Amino acid sequence: MTEPDTHIERLARIAAEVLRVAPDAVVFGSAARGERPNDLDVFVSLSPGSGEAWKLLEIARRHYGWLDVFVRAPEGGRLLVRNDWASDWIVARNARSIGQAIKRDGLPLMRLDLGRPAEADMPPSAGPAPGV
């Protein structure tokens, strides 16, 4: 019997936290490509001033180095990412290439399979995320 992969289990718990706040979140980057991720890169279409956005910043702060959250208001605008302290939003550097990665690799976070433990309480797959 092998020991559980605590790195992947932690990412699964973080994904579950994000989904409780933002069920339409999209994951991109290594996790979406099926590679072993070091962290989760997550995109959410919502206003950066919304309560959900502030809750996502709180999650990113608690899991610093494990979660990068990107937001863009549904009506458009600049792609934003958490600042270095995960206390506010700043304009994302390389926004164009990040936007392309989201379009190319984006996967609804609820469909991400990290081999998460049953207690992560993830919702079932619901198909592609809206707006991606």
- The per-residue pLDDT for range 36-68, each reduced to its tens digit, is 899 999 999 999 999 999 999 999 999 999 999
The answer on pLDDT for 122 being more than 60 is no
For 18, list phi and psi in degrees, rounded to 5.
-60, -45
Q: Which CATH number fits domain 6-111: 2.60.40, 3.30.460, 3.55.50, 3.30.70?
A: 3.30.460
Task: Report the C-alpha gap between 18 and 13 in whole angstroms.
Answer: 9
CA distances from 61 to 24, 74, 101 (A): 20, 24, 24
- The per-residue pLDDT for range 4-21, each reduced to its tens digit, is 579 999 999 999 999 999
